[in-house]
Homo-oligomer: A and B are copies of this chain.
Amino acid sequence: MATMATAWELMRGRVGELEALDEVAQLLEWDQQTMMPGGGAPHRGKHLATITGLQHSRIADPAVGEWLNTLAETADPVQQAAVRNLRRRHERAVQVPVDLVQRLAEASNTGFGAWLDAKGNDDFARFQPALQTLVELRREEISHLGEAEHPYDHLLDVYDPGSTTAQLRPMFSRLSDALSAFIQEVADKAGPAELTERFDVVGQSRLSQRILKDLGFRTSDGRLDVAAHPFTVSLGAGDVRLTTRYREEELLSGLGSTIHEAGHGMYEQGLPQRWAGTGLAQAAGMGMHESQSRFWENVIGRSLPFFRWLTPIMQEIWPSKSITAEGLYGAANRVQPSLIRVEADEATYNLHIVVRFELELALMNGDLEAADLPEAWDAATDRILGVRAPGPAQGVLQDVHWSAGLFGYFPSYTIGNLYAASFRYKMESDLPEMWTDVQNGRFEDVLGWLRTNVHDRGHVRDAPELFKEAVGDRDPVADLMAHLRSRHGALYGVS
């Protein structure tokens, strides 16, 4: 049996290799969506499957289990955290049979094609069999993963380790009630005007590059490209790649994408490199990742001080347009219940997530089957959001996630919004000059606060603990509601 020191060295070697493979997979995905010629598509699946297969066998390797056992009693908190993180991956890899992993991968492939077809034809029936298979395979996977308070916890564990169904359910329920009441209040008020002007794409691109630089994204350690569906990948803190999109008639949407992805990117650039190769120089889950993108996109990027800073920069790019900070601020903070999650405003957005969270819980519990999903969807959106889609394409088929077997990811978005709101209020008390700084385009202290309290902590603590250490006993639901009332409420005269 190896000594603890030897096991730690061997484990670090393996974790370093796994990190490298993960970064290679991220490059393959970035390339697929930005650079790859059309003819490369058939082979790209093979590239990704080869890397994923090697990752699986390197994680499931019995030697990993031995190192973890040797290190089980370590007193070093960094080693403890590294062991916890790797053990999660190792146990899942060992407990889930390889043929189930393969069937899931195939079903995701089939599911994606069926979903595209069903959505294109506004016909849920074309997706139903593939979805039912995916639901059953996920339930089967969960059955291999041992006891848990709630089967859904095993899915949360992948994206948001540390979060539990028991903790999320009451939080989401309180949030849902408070949001519904708030949206009722603003429903028949006259709100701010939309932005109807068009802004050329070249100018938007210049604006995005300028904002990135000023926010604090290190452009020598990353790049910004255009993609149909914006995303961020990291090949290490020195190579973080953002994507965004520009449409002439949707300035605010493109701007929001850039700032959102910059938030993800600055988190990746700020991860603690002293722990590279331990699995701790990683984000503390997707909810915390979303808190960073949402914090910059919403808390900072939709604030009046931010638009006051931005207006003269925009006037320089588009001298012939009449642009005002107040006009942009109003347009960026309208409230309007709508059908499509990704187009939703900051307030109603979370109700879209509540709908999906409820339905996913029922699907994984066995209380709901794919065949009954469209009806359940319509009932839930009607009850929670007060809207009803004219057909499945704009309803139950709108998101790609389930077609790829991704259940348990949606909560991350609202967890991110909740964390971001509490970060706002804690930061306002820690940094009294915060909004003056933003208005002056000085983002160092804001970024510095996130660096110290989030980024530089890596994944030593799981997100719920890390959040508590950062903000203390704050109630994120109350903070998110206060945040929304201070913005949208004030604009609609109901705060």
Contact residues of A with B, CB < 8 Å? 16-17, 20-21, 23-24, 27-28, 31, 35-44, 46-47, 49-51, 53-54, 218-223, 235-239
* B residues near A220, Cβ cutoff 8 Å: 37-39
> 23 A–B contact pairs at CB < 8 A?
A16-B46, A20-B46, A20-B47, A20-B49, A20-B50, A21-B50, A23-B43, A23-B47, A24-B24, A24-B51, A27-B28, A27-B47, A31-B31, A35-B35, A36-B239, A37-B221, A37-B239, A39-B218, A39-B237, A39-B238, A40-B236, A41-B238, A43-B238
User: Across the interface, do B46 and A221 meet the contact criterion of CB distance under 8 Å?
Assistant: no
* Minimal beta-carbon separation of A53 from chain B (angstroms): 8
Q: How many angstroms from the CA of A46 to the CA of B27 in the assembled complex?
A: 14
Tell me which residues across on chain B come within 8 A of A42, comparing CB atoms: 236, 238
Complex Cα distance A280/B164, Å?
52
Query: Which residues on the B side are within 8 Å of A31 (C-beta)?
Result: 27, 31
Within the complex, the shortest CB–CB distance from A363 to chain B, in Å, comes to 34
Separation in Å of the A235 CB from the closest CB of chain B? 6
Is B35 within 8 A of A223, CB to CB? yes
Counted per complex, copies of this chain come to 2
Known contacts: A27-B31, A37-B222. The answer to whether A235 contacts B51 by CB under 8 A is no
- CB contacts (< 8 Å) of A46 on chain B: these are 16, 20
The residue on B at minimum CB distance from A53 is B17
Identify the 6 closest CB pairs spanning chains A and B, nearest first: A40-B239, A39-B238, A39-B221, A43-B236, A20-B50, A20-B46
Residues of B contacting A27 with CB < 8 Å? 27-28, 31, 47
A36: chain B residues at CB < 8 Å are 239
Q: Check A24 against B38 for contact (C-beta < 8 Å).
A: no
Q: Which residue of B lies closest to A34 (CB)?
A: B35
Give min CB distance, A108 to chain B, whole Å.
Answer: 19
The closest CB in chain B to the CB of A222 belongs to: B37
**What's the minimum C-beta distance from A31 to chain B, rounded to whole angstroms?**
6
Among A40, A43, A46, A235: residue with most chain B CB under 10 A: A40
List B contacts of A40 (CB < 8 A).
221, 235-236, 238-239
> In the complex the two chains form, what is the Cα distance from A152 to B27 in whole Å?
38
B37–A28 touching, CB < 8 Å: no
List residues of chain B with CB within 8 A of the CB of A50: 17, 20-21, 24
Contacts of A235 in B (CB 8 A): 40, 43-44, 47
CA distance A441 to B37 in the complex (A): 25
Residues of B within 8 A of A47 (CB): 20, 23-24, 27, 235
Q: Which residues of B contact A16 (CB under 8 A)?
A: 46
Closest to A49 in B: B20
The winner among A36, A220, A235, A237 for most chain B CB atoms within 10 A is A235
- Expressed in whole angstroms, the minimum distance between the Cβ of A81 and any Cβ of chain B is 22
Are A28 and B24 also in contact (CB < 8 A) when A46-B16, A47-B235 are? yes
CB of A277, distance to nearest CB on chain B (Å): 9
Q: Which listed residue (B24, B39, B51, B53) contacts A239, Cβ 8 A?
A: B39
How far does the Cβ of A36 sit from chain B's closest Cβ, in whole Å? 6
* A41 CA to B219 CA, complexed, in Å: 14
Kindly state the separation between the CA atoms of A35 and B243 in the bound complex, as whole angstroms: 14
Instruction: State A36–B24 Cα separation when bound (angstroms).
Output: 13
A222 cross-chain contacts in B, Cβ below 8 A: 37, 39
CB of A281, distance to nearest CB on chain B (Å): 12
Whether B21 contacts A238 by the Cβ 8 Å rule is: no
What is the minimal beta-carbon distance from A267 to any residue of chain B, in angstroms?
Answer: 16
Determine whether the beta carbon of A238 is less than 8 Å from that of B51.
no
Closest to A218 in B: B39
Q: How far is the CB of A88 from chain B (nearest CB, A)?
A: 22
Report how far A445 CA is from B35 CA in the complex, Å. Answer: 31
How far apart are the CA atoms of A53 and B51 in the complex, in Å? 13
**Interchain CA distance A257-B47 in the complex, whole Å:** 29
A37 — which chain B residues lie within 8 A by C-beta? 219-223, 238-239
Chain B residues with CB under 8 Å of A20's CB are 43, 46-47, 49-50
Q: CA separation between A57 and B220, bound complex, in Å?
A: 35
- Give every chain B residue within 8 A of A38 (Cβ-Cβ): 220-221, 238
Complex contacts, A21 vs chain B, CB 8 Å:
50
Name 5 extra pairs, CB < 8 A, besides A27-B31, A40-B239, A43-B236.
A38-B220, A38-B238, A40-B221, A40-B235, A47-B235
